[in-house]
Amino acid sequence: MNKRTIVVPALEGKIGLNYTYDFCDWLLTLEIGYEAHLYFNALQSVDMGSEVIDLGPNPASVGVFARTFQRNISNFALAGPYLNVMIGF
């Protein structure tokens, strides 16, 4: 098993409305809007193409060998509305 660590670059953005109400000694903050996250090259897989080869005079023996390896990389995105409620003392 080949282990490796990668860094996934990302973009994050949100737009919304924020309302803060100040009570005597605490704050209530409500935020509602739309946010999006985009992760570049976050999903990776390796597909192996195999081939069966006859190994010799014994007809019952065959070998399965890797013929090709194809690496697939794709982006991952999340987007949608959000609601945030915060109470501070």
Domain ranges of the chain: 10-88
Half-sphere exposure of 79 (CA within 13 A, CB side): 8
Q: Which pTM does this prediction carry?
A: 0.60
Q: Which residue has the higher pLDDT, 4 or 1?
A: 4
Measured CA to CA, the distance from residue 71 to residue 73 in angstroms comes to 7
> What does the angle CA 9 – CA 78 – CA 46 come to, to the nearest 5 degrees?
60
Q: What is the predicted pLDDT for the residue at 46?
A: 79
Residue (of 65, 83, 62) closest to 17 by Cα position: 83
Contact 37, 12 (CB under 8 A): yes
Q: What's the burial of 37, exposed, middle or buried (CB within 10 Å: 0-12/13-18/19+)? A: middle
pLDDT band at 47 (very low <50, low <70, confident <90, very high): confident
Amino acid 75 reads N
